[in-house]
A and B are shown apart, each in its own frame.
Chain A
Amino acid sequence: MTEAKGPHRLPEPPSPRPRFLSLSLFQRLIDALRNKGYRVMGPTVRDGALVWDEIRQVADLPEGWRETQEPGRYRLERTGSGRLFDVVHGPESLKRFAFAAREPLLTIERKAGGFLASSTLPRRELIAILGARACDLAGLAVQDRIFLHGSGADPYYQARRDGLFLVAVNCTRAASTCLCASMNTGPQARGGYDVALTELDGGFVAQAGTPAGLEVLEELAPPAATPEQVTAVQEGIDACARSQTRRLDTSRLPQALYEAHEHARWDDVAQRCLACTNCTMVCPTCFCHTVADLPDLDRQTSARVRLWDSCFTQDHGYIHGKNVRPTIKDRYRMWLTHKLASWIDQFGMSGCVGCGRCITWCPVGIDLTEELAALTSTGDSLARPAGSPTG
Chain B
Amino acid sequence: MTEFNPLLIHPAVIVDKLRETEDIYTFRLRFADPALSRSFRFAAGQFNMVYAFGVGEVPISIVSDPDEPEVLDHTVRIVGRVTGAMARYETGDSLGIRGPFGQGWPLEEARGRDVVIITGGLGCAPVVGAIEYIFRRRAAYGAVTIVHGVKTPQDLLYRERFDAWRRRPNTTVLLACDRADKSWQYHIGVVTELFEQVSVDPERTLVLMCGPEIMMRLGAPILMKKGLPAPSIYVSLERHMECGIGLCGHCQLGPWFLCTDGPVFRYDRIAPWLGKTGV
Contact = CB atoms under 8 A, between A and B. Distances in A.
B278 A293 contact: no
Interface stretch (B52-60, B108-116, B166-174): B52-60
Contacts of A324: 239-240, 278-279
A319 B239 contact: yes
Interface residues on chain A, size class: 35 or more
A118 to B, nearest CB: 7
Interface stretch (A180-188, A329-337, A354-362): A329-337
A302 interface: yes
B227 interface: no
B249 interface: yes
A117 interface: yes
Contact of A287 (B7, B9, B79, B249): B249
Contacts of B54: 108, 293, 295, 299, 302
B165 to A, nearest CB: 27
B278 A117 contact: no
B53 A302 contact: yes
B150 to A, nearest CB: 17
Interface residues of B, number: 46
A317 B240 contact: yes
Contact of B249 (A156, A289, A315, A318): A289
Given A108-B53, A319-B238, A115 B277 contact: no
A56 B9 CA distance: 41
A171 interface: no
Interface string B237-279: 0111011111111101011010011000000000000001111
Contacts of A254: 255
A291 interface: yes
Given A150-B246, A319-B239, 18 more contacts: A106-B8, A117-B9, A119-B7, A146-B247, A151-B245, A151-B260, A152-B246, A291-B56, A291-B57, A291-B248, A299-B54, A311-B249, A316-B240, A319-B240, A334-B279, A338-B252, A345-B255, A346-B257
Interface of A: 1, 105-106, 108, 110, 113-119, 121, 146-147, 150-152, 154-156, 254, 258, 261, 287-291, 293, 295, 299, 302, 304, 309, 311, 315-321, 324-327, 329-330, 333-334, 338, 342, 345-346
Interface of B: 1, 3-11, 13, 32, 53-57, 77, 79-80, 92-94, 96, 238-240, 242-250, 252, 254-255, 257, 260-261, 276-279
